[in-house]
Chain A
Amino acid sequence: MSTAFDILWVEKYRPRSLDEIVNQEEIVNRLKTFVKNKNMPHLLFAGPAGTGKTTAAHALAHDLYGEYYRQYMLELNASDERGIGVIREKVKEFARSRTPPDIPFKIILLDEADNMTADAQQALRRLMELYSVSTRFILIANYPSKIIDPIQSRCAFFRFQPLKKDDIVGRLKYIADNEGVEYDPEALETIYEISEGDMRKAINVLQAAAALGKVTVETVFKVVGMAKPKEVRQMIKTALNGDFTGARALLRKLMIEYGLSGEDIVKQIHREIFSNEIDVPEDLRILIADYIGEIHFRLVEGSDDDIQLSALLAWMSLVGRKLGVSG
């Protein structure tokens, strides 16, 4: 490296233009026609995480406006914005601002749009109509079914498929070679298995494993294990052993040392509960998931996370004690 700084590989190896995107060919071809015609409808990109939706949107904007495309694109993330009111203000201001020289519209990119409530989506639909002369919306969603019909019908729909093994392993090889990283070929396949077709996750795991040294199957698993606090699993096991106080001490550690929010922890517990490491009867997993769902809902409603999670652990201790499960 000739420079003194480094950036994360997900940023470094992100395709900048449509030409650099190697997979999702059909989608890329359609997008390229928009660039050629210098016109496009509103777009809806749907598909699982890490399949290139956001990357494709940025590449499209890049190809339309050139290197400095970001000034003609308003980037919003529905899960980070505080309500449709905030979004409306930003869209309004953006619509008024600078126009690109030879393209008649600007782009509003709304990521994780399926995290918006149906009401907020109705308001969004009105925004799309109001500013349709000067702007185009690109909506990105994991689950298109969560986007209301009136919006779907106003958008050209693009479904992103999970990436194939060759796509991911090939990309990982390219990056590893370029970075001078030593690796076992099986390790890259393991990363693909773990990533479940999510390119971002795959690259992140590769990078973390590379930090430890040679990338082997072993280091890959080690990294995946390290990346989530082991206290979550430990906490679940302790609770299921009937030790509420011990479990809660771990909860406090997760909240304070790791700074995890109640929702973060709930999500992680949910993920863990279906893993083989937690030795409980299969039907209990569902029961626990059900209870977690209730707790999660309460947190979303603004309830105190420490109290709600304590209640979850107290319940798990009771169930664990009753069934005599060892966690």
Chain B
Amino acid sequence: MIKHHKKIPWIIKYRPRTVEEVVNQEEAKRLLTTWLSAWASGKKPAKRAALLYGPPGVGKTSLVEALAREYNFELLELNASDYRSAYAIRRTVGVAAFKKALFGKGIIILLDEIDGVATREDAGGLQELLKIIPETNNPIIMTANDPWKDQLRPLRDKVLLVQFKQLSTTQIIGVLQRICEKERLECEREALRLIAQLSQGDLRAAINDLEAIAEGYGKVTLALARAILRGREKKSDIWRTLNQVFYAKAAWMAKRAVTNSEEDYETLMAWINDNIPRKYEEPGDLHRAYDALSRASLFLSRAKFKGYWSLLSYVFDLIGPGITYARKEGSILKLRYSYPERIKLMASLREVRQIRESLAQKLASRLLVSKSTVKNDILPILQTIFRYSKDLTYPARLVLGYELTKEEVKYLAGNKAEEIIELAEKIKRTRRIPREPERGEAREAPREQKRASKKKKQERKGKTLDMFFG
């Protein structure tokens, strides 16, 4: 190959030149050809704009370019950044819509990524566009990945909707094969298959990957493809994953979104857990979504604790499509995703649980009950005493009796903690504290015996610790 040719990226070099070359979009081709030939023959179709939608990299823009060439139209391509505001739309689209073409039959106005426009701050832009469409003298074509966004609803009624299908692995392999032949590259079929699979129907991405491998090594083998594309698997960030789950059009899409997510499934589940009520509001929808999520969590615990990792697959079924199809009654809410409260509060949660655990350890052997009894039955009583006692010297004396730490007192007493701790310290200073009486010890035991028992007590303390940590 001639050197300077190499500098043209393959996605441009191998872009389809003719309508024919566009792979596997027969229905879209038919619809658009009919629509555009009407324009070309001077009869303006009823719908003066078309919206092409489908996943990225399946040939939407390429087809428009090929059509423009074939029907002898000028092409005015505008990117999302060109038409963000009402003013910008008026200045660009508004002018082009009524211009006469210098050459050819007219001007195709191509607005790429229209779904990027339909955000709140661009609302004016969309309004402006809606005013232009019924009046335009030139065909307007828009592309979008997701035409079902609520903001695009008014637009959907006024345009010709043209769906582009996702490309299959085989179709992508075919295109890659052809490129390999033209580039005289040695390509292993299995390598092309891997590239095609990882692209998930995005031909543009597949061609870019092929080029990246070929460029460095002059051949495309499976081993090379594996090495270079490792970790290149399309991974969605969390918001995208959530979008793909909540807005999935098919079960497999939702499942793919969660299996490809970069986040581990537990984090993902925490996000879903917090965001279900931000997307669904009908009680029936909420219930079905939480039912699916809770069953996923159940499968996960079984997979984890019993080592049946093959159960993980069901987890993905439930947190992907299980969530998507939980919505049967209501519409989808537009609240922004929120960061899981659980993760935010994890630290404080852990702290409280530690305090409860240490209190339970201290009290269980003194009160001869289990730690769980302490947590459920004794701590609430202590909290009442610490928070509502008429005379705070009483809880203060309990602090001394059980040698409670400041953190423990804070947990028990809430905003009374400071006062109680101060009191306890005062009592401690003013009175000589007798040794804490151990269960089973006579308080007035003779001195020698006391010393002996102190030793035993230490031994016993060691044993108690073993008991808890053993």
Residues of A within 8 A of B (CB): 1, 3-8, 10-11, 14, 16, 54-55, 58, 62, 67-71, 75-77, 79-80, 86, 89-90, 111-112, 200-201, 204-205, 207-208, 211-213, 223, 226-229, 242, 244-245, 248, 252, 255-259, 261, 264, 267, 295, 298, 301-304, 306-308, 310-311, 313-315, 317-318, 321-322
The answer to whether B384 touches A227, judged by C-beta atoms less than 8 angstroms apart, is yes
Q: B302, B349, B370, B437 — which one has the most chain A CB atoms within 10 A of its CB? A: B370
Tell me whether B377 is interfacial, beta carbon within 8 Å.
Answer: yes
Candidates A70, A200, A211; contact of B369 at CB < 8 Å? A200
Tell me whether B179 is interfacial, beta carbon within 8 Å.
Answer: no
Candidates B283, B348, B366, B411; contact of A11 at CB < 8 Å? B366
Residues of A within 8 A of B328 (CB): none
The answer to whether A68 touches B286, judged by C-beta atoms less than 8 angstroms apart, is no
Tell me whether B445 is interfacial, beta carbon within 8 Å.
Answer: yes
- Least CB distance from B68 to A in Å reads 51
Candidates B290, B291, B376, B394; contact of A264 at CB < 8 Å? B376
Candidates A11, A213, A259; contact of B356 at CB < 8 Å? A259
Residues of B within 8 A of A201 (CB): 377
The answer to whether A80 touches B370, judged by C-beta atoms less than 8 angstroms apart, is yes
The 4 A-B pairs with the shortest beta carbon distances in the complex, nearest first, are A259-B352, A311-B294, A6-B397, A5-B401
Given that A79-B372, A90-B467, A259-B353 are contacting pairs, would A252 and B390 also be in contact in the complex, using a CB cutoff of 8 Å? Answer: no
Candidates A4, A245, A267, A295; contact of B400 at CB < 8 Å? A4
Given that A6-B398, A227-B381 are contacting pairs, would A54 and B440 also be in contact in the complex, using a CB cutoff of 8 Å? Answer: no
How many Å lie between the Cα of A267 and that of B352 in the bound state? 19
The answer to whether A311 touches B293, judged by C-beta atoms less than 8 angstroms apart, is yes
Tell me whether B389 is interfacial, beta carbon within 8 Å.
Answer: yes
Candidates B283, B356, B436, B441; contact of A318 at CB < 8 Å? B283
Given that A89-B470, A112-B370 are contacting pairs, would A298 and B297 also be in contact in the complex, using a CB cutoff of 8 Å? Answer: yes
- Least CB distance from B70 to A in Å reads 55
Q: Which A-chain residue is minimally distant from B299 (CB atoms)?
A: A303
Residues of B within 8 A of A79 (CB): 370-372
CB neighbors of A among B170-205 (8 A):
none
Can you report 29 A-B residue pairs in the complex whose CB atoms are below 8 A from each other? A4-B400, A5-B433, A5-B436, A7-B366, A8-B398, A11-B366, A11-B367, A58-B368, A58-B439, A67-B442, A68-B456, A70-B440, A75-B368, A77-B369, A211-B384, A211-B394, A223-B384, A244-B283, A256-B352, A258-B352, A259-B356, A259-B411, A304-B269, A306-B342, A307-B290, A307-B293, A307-B297, A314-B283, A314-B289
Residues of A within 8 A of B368 (CB): 14, 54-55, 58, 75, 111
Candidates A54, A228, A257, A301; contact of B305 at CB < 8 Å? A301
Residues of B within 8 A of A75 (CB): 365, 368, 467
Candidates B298, B365, B388, B468; contact of A301 at CB < 8 Å? B298
Candidates B283, B401, B453, B456; contact of A7 at CB < 8 Å? B401
Residues of A within 8 A of B389 (CB): 211-212
Give 9 new A-B contacts, CB below 8 A, not counting A226-B384, A317-B283: A7-B401, A8-B398, A58-B440, A80-B370, A252-B341, A252-B345, A259-B411, A298-B294, A310-B294
How many Å lie between the Cα of A199 and that of B433 in the bound state? 30
The answer to whether B369 touches A311, judged by C-beta atoms less than 8 angstroms apart, is no
Number of A-B contacts (CB under 8 A): 211
How many Å lie between the Cα of A261 and that of B434 in the bound state? 37
The answer to whether A318 touches B287, judged by C-beta atoms less than 8 angstroms apart, is yes
Tell me whether B140 is interfacial, beta carbon within 8 Å.
Answer: no
Tell me whether B284 is interfacial, beta carbon within 8 Å.
Answer: yes
- Least CB distance from A49 to B in Å reads 8
Tell me whether B273 is interfacial, beta carbon within 8 Å.
Answer: yes
Residues of B within 8 A of A267 (CB): 376
Tell me whether B459 is interfacial, beta carbon within 8 Å.
Answer: yes
In the complex, per-residue mask of B444-470: 1 if CB is within 8 Å of any chain A CB, else 0: 010000000100100110000011101
Given that A252-B341, A314-B283 are contacting pairs, would A68 and B293 also be in contact in the complex, using a CB cutoff of 8 Å? Answer: no
- Least CB distance from A259 to B in Å reads 3
- Least CB distance from A54 to B in Å reads 5
